Structure 1
Amino acid sequence: MATPKKKFSKKKTAIRKRIWTKKAEKKALVAFRWANFVLKKLTN
């Protein structure tokens, strides 16, 4: 009984990790775009 529960929680954490990385990627993309925008404003 203890083994399947462990497997299930491992799968859950993997899914959570994937969701977190997707969110992190989105945040990084937004930050990158914002930095580009600021740089363009400064150079112009």
Structure 2
Amino acid sequence: MSNILGYIKKNTEETQRLVGLKYEQLEQLIHLAIALHTHSSTGS
């Protein structure tokens, strides 16, 4: 996964074609997923 993320970060204009989201939307989704994972792994 990190190879794909690295490619997308270097080629942000390709994000829409590759994953169907704008780069900003993908960033927001990743941040929310990390926050959810962090929250759920703390047992709260």
Q: TM-score, normalised by structure 1?
A: 0.50
Bigger RCO (CA 8 Å, 6+ sep): 2
Whose helix fraction is larger, Structure 1's or Structure 2's? 1
Q: TM-score, normalised by structure 2?
A: 0.50
Greater Rg over alpha carbons, structure: 1
